Amino acid sequence: MTFTIEELLLGASLLLFLSILISKNLGRFGIPALALFLGVGMLAGSEGIGGIYFDDFRSAQSLGTIALTIILFSGGLDTRWETTKPILWRGIALSTLGVFITAMLVGLFATYVMDFTLLEGLLLGAIVSSTDAAAVFSILRSSRIGLKNNLGPTLELESGSNDPMAYFLTVSFTFLLTNQGASIWQLVPMFFLQMSIGAAAGFAMGRIMGWVINRIKLQQEGLYPALTLAMLLFTFSFTNLINGNGFLAVYISAVLLGNSNFLHKGSLTRFYDGLAWLMQIVMFLTLGLLVFPSHIVPVLGAGLLISLFLIFVARPISVFLGMSFFKTSVRDKLYVSWVGLRGAVPIVFAMYPLLAGVDKAGMIFNIVFFIVLTSVMLQGTTLKVVADWLHLSEEDTSLKTLALGAERGYASKNSLVELEMGQNWRAIGKPIVELGLPKTALIVLIDRGGSFVTPNGSTILQPDDKLMVMVENEQELVRVRETLQ
């Protein structure tokens, strides 16, 4: 059956609208939005009520690769170096050694419980070895879970930087299965070459992007997103072309760019945040359309065993070993173990052996899909509960806004943050002059029931006031909160 472009656009718009509407209404029950998008795709698929037949794995893989690239770039832009620097090596250990250990353990277990050869089992382990950046970024940030001991930056750094390792392992085992005479030792120098080239390209392009944005002086502001998108796609494709790891290059370049001052920083960051959400929705809808639920039923038993082994055995072992080099508590390790969310990335990686013609690739794909669904539903819905249970949750006090002057590329220490007055805060009923705020902190605007008030020293604060407060750093924000509460 062929569709006109109008019919395709109509169907796409309805699916997008339905996904957002469902996520808005069901998200309040703790169901991750990504699982809802996936469910909408499955309902619209060939075995759902929509009846849309879709089995184009090559197009889905291409779309998934582009989406993952944009999601990694958006996550990198939001990664703040001052919070990442103290846990840099901890995150790197999890994203390399942790991924490798997970792949090996899951691979050996899959070989034991399934009719797989060792290489086939290790391929499955490699595909599900990394945590998913889209899932971790969206769930942690949208639910505004505050975590102690720098666990938030650790989890985001790990999820943003561990895809290159999983990608290399997946491609490597796919290569070994399709080239019987190849040796695994051929892949060791290739690994170091890919990672080195990817890191170097990322550092170079991160600097070049900032330099180009600040000096090109485009007449239309709307062209800056197009400019950065072109440089983003160039970074990924050119790095892969010279045998580097494009995913690593994109993430590093985004981190460097996001921690520098460049023109239109605020609008560009918001643009990529929205684009990343769009890519997540489109990717999960596409993957939902791609799966045939009837094909998953035969592997439910094995899929459940492997999924439980991954969640409760392989992931904790990899985390405890990977974090054993650093001073961390058992509670920290337990929570990091639990936030081993799998998302769309393993499903995208599972398409590589399918397209390469690997035997049992179809079975591996269906098992991976079930593992992802189990992970998102079980772990994604309980992140806050487990954090509270381990006494690791706290109020999210991190700066979520952009530095003032960033739109024009000026260097500025100040940030503008929004604080909403609680019903029982001690500052209620008091004039601002009597609050004793830090000298460098300033309330610049008050949103009072939709009306804006320009404050002065005699302005009395009321419940539910939304204060726009200018602060220099997170420590000052903490002091402001202590003063108001």
Q: What is the CATH number of the domain that holds 430?
A: 3.30.70.1450
Identify the pLDDT of residue 407.
52
Domain membership of residue 362 (yes or no) is yes
- Tell me the angle at which helices 187-215 and 163-178 cross, rounded to the nearest 10 degrees: 140
Domain membership of residue 400 (yes or no) is no
Q: Mean pLDDT score of the chain, rounded to an integer? A: 84
pTM: 0.79
More confident residue, 25 or 64: 64
CATH number for 108: 1.20.1530.20
Name the pairing type of β-strands 466-471 and 415-420.
Answer: antiparallel
CA dist., res. 259 & res. 88, Å (int): 15
**CA-based torsion, 473, 475, 477, 483: positive or negative:** negative
Which residues make beta-bridge pairs with 443? 469
Q: Are residues 350 and 370 in contact, defined by beta-carbon separation less than 8 angstroms?
A: no
Identify the pLDDT of residue 402.
46
Same domain for 344 and 458?
no
Domain membership of residue 469 (yes or no) is yes
| Domain final residue pick, 340, 361, 394 | 394
CA dist., res. 37 & res. 448, Å (int): 35
Same domain for 315 and 430?
no
469: three-class secondary structure by DSSP: strand
Identify the pLDDT of residue 58.
86
Query: Within 216-296, where are the H helices?
Result: 223-241, 246-258, 265-290, 293-296
Domain membership of residue 114 (yes or no) is yes
CA dist., res. 475 & res. 297, Å (int): 52
Same domain for 385 and 424?
no
Domain membership of residue 406 (yes or no) is no
Same domain for 382 and 429?
no
Query: Which two tokens mark 470?
Result: 């200018």
Query: Is the confidence at residue 411, as pLDDT, over 50?
Result: no
- pLDDT band for position 231 (50/70/90)? very high
CA dist., res. 334 & res. 379, Å (int): 13
Identify the pLDDT of residue 25.
63
Same domain for 431 and 382?
no
Query: Phi, psi (5° rounding) for residue 3?
Result: -120, 150
Amino acid identity at 234: F
Identify the pLDDT of residue 100.
95
- pLDDT band for position 307 (50/70/90)? very high
Query: Mean pLDDT over residues 144-173, rounded?
Result: 83
CA dist., res. 107 & res. 118, Å (int): 7
Same domain for 315 and 434?
no
Same domain for 384 and 288?
yes
| Domain final residue pick, 335, 362, 394 | 394
For the chain, counts of helices (H) and of strands (E) = 23, 6
Identify the pLDDT of residue 233.
95
| Residue positions counted in the chain | 485
Same domain for 174 and 252?
yes
Contacts of residue 220, defined as CB under 8 A and 6 or more positions apart, other chains included, come to: none
pLDDT tens track for 330-372: 999 999 999 888 877 888 899 999 999 898 898 999 999 889 8
Query: Is the confidence at residue 2, as pLDDT, over 70?
Result: no
Q: Are residues 83 and 153 in contact, defined by beta-carbon separation less than 8 angstroms?
A: yes
Domain membership of residue 42 (yes or no) is yes
Identify the pLDDT of residue 289.
84
Domain membership of residue 73 (yes or no) is yes
Same domain for 344 and 444?
no
User: How many distinct structural domains can be found in the chain?
Assistant: 2
Identify the pLDDT of residue 206.
94
Domain membership of residue 283 (yes or no) is yes
Same domain for 38 and 70?
yes
Amino acid identity at 439: K
181: three-class secondary structure by DSSP: coil
Query: Which two tokens mark 448?
Result: 């009072």
Edge-to-edge, what's the strand order for the sheet holding 415-420?
415-420, 466-471, 442-448, 451-453
320: three-class secondary structure by DSSP: helix
Name the residue range of residue 169's domain. Answer: 5-394
Same domain for 155 and 302?
yes
Identify the pLDDT of residue 30.
53
pLDDT tens track for 427-484: 888 888 888 888 778 888 888 887 888 888 888 888 888 888 888 776 777 788 888 8
| Domain final residue pick, 362, 394, 426 | 394
pLDDT tens track for 40-73: 888 888 777 777 787 788 888 888 899 889 988 9
Contacts of residue 397, defined as CB under 8 A and 6 or more positions apart, other chains included, come to: 146, 474, 477, 478, 481
CA dist., res. 318 & res. 341, Å (int): 14
Considering 7-21, 188-202, 468-482, the range whose residues carry the highest mean pLDDT is: 188-202
CA dist., res. 210 & res. 77, Å (int): 12
Same domain for 457 and 366?
no
